[in-house]
Amino acid sequence: MINSNILIEILKDQVKPALGCTEPGAVALAVARSKEILGLDVKKLKISVNNNILKNGLGVGIPGTRERGLIFAAALSLVVGKSRYGLEVLKDVNEDSIKQALEITNSKVIDLELNKEADGLYISVEAFGDEEISKVIIENSHTNIVYESKNDQVILNNKTLPNDEYSLDSKFHHEIKYEIQNFTIDNLINFVSHVDIEKLSFIQEGIDMNMRLAKIGISEKLGMGLGKYLSDNINDIYEKAKAYTAGASEARMSGYPLPVMSSAGSGNHGLVAIIPINAIGSGLNISHDKIVRSVALSHLITIYVKSYIGPLSPVCGCGVAAGVGCSAGLTFMMGGNSHQIKGSMDNMIAGLTGMICDGAKLGCSYKLSISVDAAVDASNMAMKNIFVPIDNGILGSTTEKTIKNLAEISNVGMNNTDNIILEVMLNKCYNEQ
C-alpha cells in the first residue's frame, strides 16, 4: 500500500519557489538569518562555503540587478534580506538597495572563503557587530539551517555528527526528501496515476510560474540571446519545448526578477522538470489532469535521483536528474507503460551521464536545451520500445540500480572532479584580472 501522504509531503517540501540561482540564494538566506539574530548593524561578515556553492555562485546573475556572485548576494541580503522569504530572500530588491549593496561590497567587509573539508552542501555565516557575533550554518540542502548562535550561546543545533560517527546515508535521513528512497519507480508511477487530482493542485502553480518566465526568455534578448535564437527557429512542439526551457533558464541566470518553481532544490531543475512536459502536452491537446500528473512524476523522479547523487554534484543535475524526470514524465504523458517509462530513464542516463556541472551561469541555458533534446529522444525511443541494453556501461539490471550506479560514479568516482573544475574556474578568473 503506497503512503500517498508522504509523497505529497515530499513534493511540497521539494517543489518551492526560488528567486534567482539557489546557491547565492542560500548564502543570502544564511546572511539574512545571521543579521536577524545579531539584531545590530553588521560591521563584518565571514562566509565559508563548500566547493559546489562557490562553483555555482561565481558567475551567476543576482535577480533584479546587473551584478553577479556570492559576495554581492550577501551584501544585498544585509540590506533587504528576510529569512522568512526562504529562497526568495532577496525579492525586496530595488535601486536604492543595489547602491547600498555595492557600497558594502566595495568596503571589503565581507570575507568569503572555501572550506575544503566540508562534506556536501555547506554554508557558514558569521556576522560581527561592535562587540557581538552571530553564526548560522546551512547543511545538506539549500534552506536547511542546522545551527544558530549568538555570542556563543546556541539557539539551534541540528548539526550532523563527525564523519567517523555515522554513515553518509544516515546523516541525511532526518530530511523528508530521503523518504522517497523507500519507494520504487513503479510505486511513483502508480501514485501519480491514481492520486486524487485535487491533491496535486499546487503543481499547476509551478507550471504557471515557469511558463511565465519562459515567455519572457524567448521574447526578450537576455543574456547571450539563446532563448530568442531558438524561438526564431521553432518548427514543431519539441523545438518549442527546447526554446522555452532554454529561454527561461537564460532569463533566470541573467538575474531577471521573477521567481521560478524549483525541483529538488534547484530552479533550473524545476524548469526542465516542468516546461517541456507542459509545452509538448499543451501542443498535443493533452488533458490538463494528465499534464499535471506527468509533471508530478517528473518532480518525483528528479527528487528520487537527487536523493542519491546529492543536492550538488560534479554531474549536471539538469541532465541526469531533472532530464531523467522529464523523460519519465513525457513517456507517462504519451501513454507509456511502466516498462517504457523506466526504459526512457535508462536511455537518458545512458546518454547524458558524462555532462559535468561547471557552475551556474548563462551557459546553463544551453545545457538545459541539450537535456530537453535528450529527454524527448529518450522518451520517443522508449515509446517505440527502443532501449539501450542493460549490459551497456553503467546501466543496472533495474532502473533503481542504474540510479545507484550513477550516484556511485558521481559521489565516489568523480570525488575530485569538483575541485579540479573549481580550480580551473578560479585560475581563469585570476588570469583575466
In degrees, to the nearest 5, what angle opens at C-alpha 150 toward C-alphas 149 and 151?
120
Domain boundaries, the chain: 22-165, 175-424
> What letter does residue 411 receive in the DSSP assignment?
I
Question: By CB neighbour count within 10 A (0-12 exposed, 13-18 middle, 19+ buried), where does 287 fall?
Answer: exposed
Of 252, 280, 271, residue with least CA distance to 207: 271
Helix-helix angle 338-352:399-408, to 10 degrees? 20
Q: Tell me how crowded residue 257 is: count the other CB atoms within 10 A of its CB.
A: 14
- Which CATH number describes the domain made up of 175-424? 1.10.4100
Q: Is the pTM of this model over 0.95?
A: no
Please count the helices (runs of H) and the strands (runs of E) in the chain.
17, 8
Q: How far apart are CA 306 and CA 406, in angstroms?
A: 10
CA distance 58 to 63: 14
* Structural contact between residues 65 and 98, judged by C-beta atoms closer than 8 angstroms: yes
Looking only at the bridges linking them, the beta strands covering 44-49 and 110-114 are parallel
* Tens-binned pLDDT, residue by residue, of the chain (433 aa): 678 899 999 999 999 998 888 999 999 999 999 999 999 999 999 999 999 999 989 888 899 999 999 999 999 999 999 999 999 999 999 999 999 999 999 999 999 999 988 888 999 999 999 999 999 999 988 999 999 999 989 999 988 544 333 233 333 346 899 999 999 999 999 999 999 999 999 999 999 999 999 999 999 888 899 998 999 989 999 999 999 999 999 999 988 999 999 999 899 999 999 999 999 999 999 999 999 999 999 999 999 999 999 888 889 999 999 999 999 999 999 999 999 999 999 999 999 888 998 888 889 999 999 999 999 999 999 999 999 999 999 999 999 999 999 999 998 888 788 888 888 888 865 454 4
198 class by beta-carbon count within 10 Å (0-12 exposed, 13-18 middle, 19+ buried):
exposed
Q: Does domain 22-165 have CATH number 2.60.40?
A: no
Is-contact 178 307, C-beta < 8 A? yes
Which whole-number Å values give the CA distances from 366 to 49, 222, 224, 241, 246, in the listed order? 27, 13, 10, 13, 6
